[in-house]
Structure 1
């Protein structure tokens, strides 16, 4: 997509068939027996695959289609935050063959040996992925050995525009959408219709740091103290720390949120399906939003690696990757899927970000262990109102 984040020009694949001219048989002695090529090793794993993913993050029918094609039974569990997944990986003996960490967490997971390298020879559809996105992911996964992109989006401000405008009265919307959730001038008014934050320190503190002009992925304790001071000023106005953001927005529990653009778009569609006429949208703050990339990876203790590779390759088919955008409102890094994406989805600037705005956005990075501790302390104190 020439106007969007990555160049998704599709290459033509030319297949040439070659034949052998038939000749009259010569009167020669019978040839010596030729050893046949060794057969590919059979998949002797039990027909089971255990997946651990985020809620509302897989197209309807994809698991059933994989099971029907392969005969592999999929056990599918969900987690709410990167912190929850990370704790399970650190504890070991996860019981899962595939997990979907954000790249912010994947870097220390790779460095700590919690994820195992993928066998690229088993991923024939790997070439469908966009090189630009893979290059971005090398910050977390050098040489792209461990991760395959599942979907990407960004952390931003979402609003029920109908309710927000009513709550603000005659006050105009701010130029910078982050003001709606971080500036007491606006939060004091919006608390009447509900402000919700994602219940995760690694989602809220980077956004808060960015808002006060600091590095969103700072490793400075002083920066976290300053961000905590800013957050303390709006604590009384925050209604929810949400792990069910889609339902909270669609169900009217919150009119302004710090959330994921993909989930905000899902909530907008769900609200319409439920008969609501309110306008729900993911905003593009003037100072930029925070990009995240979620990736498929194999835990070090995966017991069904062949089945895991089979599922990844199944997902990398263009028609399957396109469903992430068409059904889930998340961007896909699969360049071969572009022509299968609905025009109204491809034209949504909060899904496929235009190049001019992308320059303002904050790419994912990672934190030191000390920064994670400082972040957790700041977040817990903020959440408790201390």
Structure 2
């Protein structure tokens, strides 16, 4: 009987042990280079199960409700802040990891605003919100307009002339409303009703010239010429430029950081409080601190990474592009992503709904 019980116990334990060699990753699509995943699995013996989300709100919901089953997640700084407030994350213990000293000090400082002491997250990628465009189409309609100015969007006399070739805006209320406020010289994270009313009026004037508000479409639409101007992320515009070039399109797709300044966004690696395999999660984060692991991502998706030791491994054309790796004087004009209280977010959501539905 004892022998039988021992065999049953071993049989029951085997699936658990097998599961322990798993890392459940929840991230944006293609946010780790396939070759990097393969090297991680070969080097550590862990199998990566990779699920994707398409909006930060989906990730936030899973973090705040708990029981997601994920080991590593990739939140923005604002999502990270709300998850920390809700007790949804555990310490990563990354400061003892090899390669941690290579992380960009400016990004660590910005992250410390929401993660004091940098205990719960590791900076991963970063970039800006700006203007992706079909240069020829914009120049044809606005030969004298500055291509690196938010005037293209927020001055009706400019935007109206681009309506026929298509303007797209990302579906991200906090980011777009914050950018509108910044353009007006206001605090991007203000809760002042007069300031928000001014931003609402600015967006209302833009409405007639906007073809759509959505996520995920701008890359292909810029690449094939369906739209000529998109308020989007730098990496998405760079991917569109790469696709247009490879397809031999007769126009140039470019990205410009607005001269007025804009949002610097930052994505981070973190471990949920109830992660089933926390040590596997730390092994994954340690591996992603290797310069070659994140350089491959930047060379594929054109998002800058936070590892300064990886920069020499990034393709020369990418690392020398000032709209991907902006110089210090440009970075000084960028404002960081911040968390906001739920009542303030709801206020902005109502404003955004009116903009999207053209009320």
Quick check: TM above 0.5? yes
Q: Distance in 2 between matches of 1:62 and 1:271?
A: 26
Other-structure match for 1:277: 250
Matched, 1:367 2:340: yes
Computing the radius of gyration from Cα coordinates, the structure with the larger value is: 1
Cα gap change, 1:380 to 1:306, in 2 (>3 Å):
same
Q: Alpha carbons of 1:190 and 1:364: their partners in 2 closer, same or farther (altered >3 Å)? A: same
Residue 51 (structure 1) aligned with residue 51 (structure 2): no
Does the aligned pair in 2 maintain the 1:221–1:371 contact within 8 Å? no
Matching residue of 1:117: 91
Q: Could you tell me whether the CA contact under 8 Å between 1:175 and 1:286 is conserved in 2?
A: no
Q: Indicate yes or no: 2:252 matched with 1:311.
A: no
Tell me how far apart the structure 2 counterparts of residues 277 and 57 of structure 1 sit (CA, whole Å): 30
Q: Does 1:382 align with 2:355?
A: yes
- Does the 8 Å CA contact 2:133/2:254 hold for their aligned counterparts? yes
Give 1:61-100 correspondences, 5 Å limit: 61-100=35-74
How far apart are 1:64 and its partner, in Å?
2.2
For the residues of structure 1 that align with 2:126 and 2:348, how far apart are their CA atoms?
23
2:154 pairs with 1:203: no
CA RMSD of aligned residues (A): 1.9
| Residue pairs, 1:1-386, within 5 angstroms | 46-120=20-94, 123-168=97-142, 171-174=143-146, 177-244=149-216, 245-386=218-359
If each structure's helix is expressed as a fraction of its own residues, which one has the higher value?
A: 2
1: CA distance, partners of 2:227 / 2:289: 35
**Number of residue pairs aligned between Structure 1 and Structure 2:** 342
CA change 1:101–1:113 in 2 (3 A) is: same
Deviation at residue 61 of structure 1 after TM alignment: 2.0
Q: Check whether the contact 1:101–1:296 (CA below 8 A) recurs between aligned residues.
A: yes
Q: Report if the CA contact (8 A) 1:155-1:260 is conserved.
A: yes
- Please identify runs of 4+ aligned residues in structure 1 that moved more than 6 A: none
Is the Cα contact below 8 Å between 1:249 and 1:255 reproduced in 2?
yes
Preserved CA contact (<8 Å) 1:59 1:328: no
Preserved CA contact (<8 Å) 1:218 1:367: no
Question: Residue 323 of structure 2: SS of its match in structure 1?
Answer: coil
Give the Cα–Cα distance (whole angstroms) in 1 for the partners of residues 242 and 148 of structure 2. Answer: 25
Contact 2:147 2:256 in 1 (8 A): no
What SS does the corresponding residue of 1:228 show, helix, strand or coil? helix
Superposed displacement of residue 143, structure 1: 0.4
> Quick check: 1:97–1:303 contact (8 Å CA) kept in 2?
yes
> Residue by residue, what CA displacement relative to the aligned partner does 1:145-204 show, whole Å, maximum 9, x if unpaired?
011011000111111112212233xx4123762111222111111111111111111221
User: 2:11 aligns to what?
Assistant: none
- Secondary structure in structure 1 of the residue aligned to 2:258: coil
With the length of structure 2 as denominator, give the TM-score of the two structures: 0.89
Bigger shift: residues 81-90 or 310-319: 81-90
